[in-house]
Amino acid sequence: GDSVTQTEGLVTLTEGLPVMLNCTYQSTYSPFLFWYVQHLNEAPKLLLKSFTDNKRPEHQGFHATLHKSSSSFHLQKSSAQLSDSALYYCALSDGTGGYKVVFGSGTRLLVSP
Amino acid sequence: DAGVTQTPRHEVAEKGQTIILKCEPVSGHNDLFWYRQTKIQGLELLSYFRSKSLMEDGGAFKDRFKAEMLNSSFSTLKIQPTEPKDSAVYLCASSPGTGMEVFFGKGTRLTVV
């Protein structure tokens, strides 16, 4: 079945340093990949979504590139801000294999001054 | 536009009780999901409906968890009987369809004592 793996449970870094959160997936078909962000006491909300034409999605300084060869969709940002501290989930939606949305276990990002 | 509405926001139950969580999806959305959120497991899929039809009932959660979608604008998640290990945040979410953004409710925090 479909699955998403996020290897880091917690990432801590200093403001201004680059961010990279890992995401790999397994799917029989060609899924859509997503990043969702959840701030404290809020619901998860969409941050980024992969494009079918391989364009690189960007939002709020974050970007992610879908690499089908390595089944990865890592989240990156050139310079972390304090407000980026949150829980980040990678997810996939497989339109041909079952339609459900599967989430990874999440990575908590803590940015300190 | 109204988002996904979940009630109650907090629930305290004694072990062995039956509890029912409620969800109103975004109007017009075809897909409805129930997830359990814990720090260790992240977001675990409990049930998934497409156009009111149950597509997936979450495997390991089948025995005590039952989700229903009585009409396109209302769903319930029944846990019977509750156990302390069920203590978690239960999130309801809806989506227009495959490959599209999932919108989450604010969740119900369940504590089983």
Q: Are the C-beta atoms of B109 and B91 separated by less than 8 Å?
A: no
Q: B4, B38, B43: which to substitute to probe chain A, counting the most A Cβ within 10 Å?
A: B43
Encode chain B (113 residues) as per-residue pLDDT tens digits.
679 999 999 999 999 999 999 999 999 998 999 999 998 888 998 999 999 998 888 777 778 999 999 899 999 999 999 999 999 999 999 998 877 889 999 999 999 99
Answer whether A99 sits within 8 Å of B35, measured CB to CB.
no
Burial class from Cβ neighbours inside 10 Å (0-12, 13-18, 19+) for residue A101 reads: buried
A7 near B CB under 8 A: no
For B5-112, CATH gives 2.60.40.10
For chain A, 113 residues long, give each residue's pLDDT as a single digit of tens. Answer: 788 999 999 999 999 999 999 999 998 877 889 999 999 989 999 999 887 666 677 788 999 988 889 999 999 999 999 999 999 999 998 766 556 788 999 999 999 99
**pLDDT value at residue B102:** 92
How many angstroms separate the CA atoms of A103 and B14, rounded? Answer: 30
- One-letter amino acid at A34 equals F
Strand order in the sheet with B19-24: B5-7, B19-24, B74-79, B65-71
Instruction: Give the whole-angstrom CA distance, residue B38 versus residue B1.
Output: 29
Shortest distance, CA B10 to any CA of chain A (angstroms): 13
Label residue B7 exposed, middle or buried (CB < 10 Å: 0-12, 13-18, 19+).
middle
Residues from chain B that touch A101, judged by Cβ atoms under 8 A, are 31, 33, 45, 48, 93, 95, 102
Q: Identify the structural domains of chain A with CATH numbers, from first to last.
A: 3-112 (2.60.40.10)
User: Which tens digits make up the pLDDT trace of A15-32?
Assistant: 999 999 999 999 887 788
CA torsion B33-B36-B39-B41 (nearest 10°) is -80
> Chain B closest CA to A41's CA: distance in Å?
8
